[in-house]
Amino acid sequence: MNKGEMKRLGDYIREVDVRNRDLEVTKLLDVSISKEFMPSIANTIGTDMSSYKVVEPRQFAYGPVTSRNGDKVSIALYKNDEKAIVSQAYTIFEVKNKQELFPEYLMMWFRRPEFDRYARFKSHGSAREIFSWEEMCDVELPIPSIEQQQKIVSEYDTITHRIRLNEQIIAKLEETAQALYRKMFVDGIDKEHLPEGWRMGTLDDIAEINTDNISAKDNDIKIRYLDSCSVPQNVFDEYQIFNVLQDEIPSRAKRKVKHNDIVYSTVRPNLKHYGIIKDTVENMIVSTAFAVIRSCYSPISNELLYLMLTDEKNTEYLQGIAEMSKATYPSITPEDISSLKITIPIESVSISNMNQSIKYCFDSVYYKHQENKKLQKLQSLLFVKMGQK
């Protein structure tokens, strides 16, 4: 596709301004920076809803004010069958001829990171930056045949469906692991009358924390690094890769980790920056803002230890300690973690079976996350393919 085939978007779309005058439509939505319609959380008590804009199936809504959204533009294609309303602040538009431009193809264009960068660059204003309707109309994009557009959209939808299916499987696996843990250690336990051989203790009795740190003896040339914001609830971002001989290494890159270690951010525990390292790559280093934890008591696997550590009651307890700290940010110490009170079982068939079951759940979650990362790369390749001239 050569550069001459780039088309001006304004020749294919038109603005729509239909108001909810008769109050017939009651479904109120907003548009997220993830480019989806979502239920509005605005307080509308006493609000005149007749001035709100009506959006119909396969119409677009976008928020012209871009300065409040960071690097994303709030724009979405409405896919439901029933009408909805949005705030007057949104601009509504539609494709004039859907046999020339497929709305779903156009929405894919809006999902490209390059579109967000373009829109932010073209936004202007003093108090707040606006990506105006005129600027939207001046957007240029390739518009291949409708058959080619539909083919690209079909490929994208297939990948997206697989990602969402994996996300549902991940959620179910996590729920299963939680249910197994709670049945054995929460709901089915009377702490006044523990099973024979069980006892109450602290995490320090069964785990070790921060045992491996970089020293002068280490001579690894390449390291893989994670900072404390890179692990939201057991979802790991891509590692930062540094060449020790060439790159400036973050000063916090000190903690060594290995397969199956737990990493737990000591800053603001309520943000839940924690996870289990399931990768098997070498030379993995994390920030000193993490506590690196592993079980040293055979009846408690690292997966079970993770579920104990991340129990909501423990999270609330640690957050309470963090809020009383005198550090720059609400934070805890490794000693706060090691002093957590836990129920310590003895080796048994039931404990062994539970450990095996939750290990299966965690390993499967890891593989599904890895598959989704590959699928997301395929999505990115489709976006690149769209923009090729």
Rounded to the nearest 5°, which phi and psi values hold at 11? -80, -10
**How many CB atoms lie under 10 A from the CB of residue 319?**
17
Which stretch of DSSP H or E encloses residue 86? strand 84-86
Task: Give the pLDDT mean for 130-146.
Answer: 94
Per the CB < 8 A criterion, the answer to whether 340 and 314 are in contact is yes
Per the CB < 8 A criterion, the answer to whether 342 and 206 are in contact is yes
Q: Write down the pLDDT at residue 3.
A: 42
Indicate the pLDDT class of residue 126, thresholds 50, 70 and 90: low
For the domain made up of 199-344, the CATH class stated in words is alpha beta
DSSP state of 294: E
CATH fold match for the domains 3-143 and 199-344: yes
Per the CB < 8 A criterion, the answer to whether 58 and 77 are in contact is yes
Domain boundaries, the chain: 3-143, 146-190+347-389, 199-344
Q: Write down the pLDDT at residue 267.
A: 95
Which residues make Cβ contacts (< 8 Å) with residue 235, sequence separation at least 6? Answer: 275, 369
Report percent pLDDT > 90 for the chain.
78
pLDDT 10s digits, 209-260: 999 998 877 777 889 999 988 999 999 988 999 998 888 989 999 999 999 9
User: 301, exposed or middle or buried, with CB in 10 Å at 0-12, 13-18, 19+?
Assistant: buried
Per the CB < 8 A criterion, the answer to whether 52 and 19 are in contact is yes
pTM for the model: 0.86
pLDDT 10s digits, 311-355: 999 999 999 999 999 888 899 999 999 999 999 999 999 999 999
Query: Given a cut of 60, is residue 62 above it in pLDDT?
Result: yes
Q: Where are the beta strands (DSSP E) in 212-316?
A: 222-226, 240-243, 253-257, 262-265, 274-276, 284-287, 290-295
DSSP state of 145: -
CATH entry 3.40.640.10 includes domain 3-143: no
As a whole number of Å, the end-to-end CA separation of the chain is 5
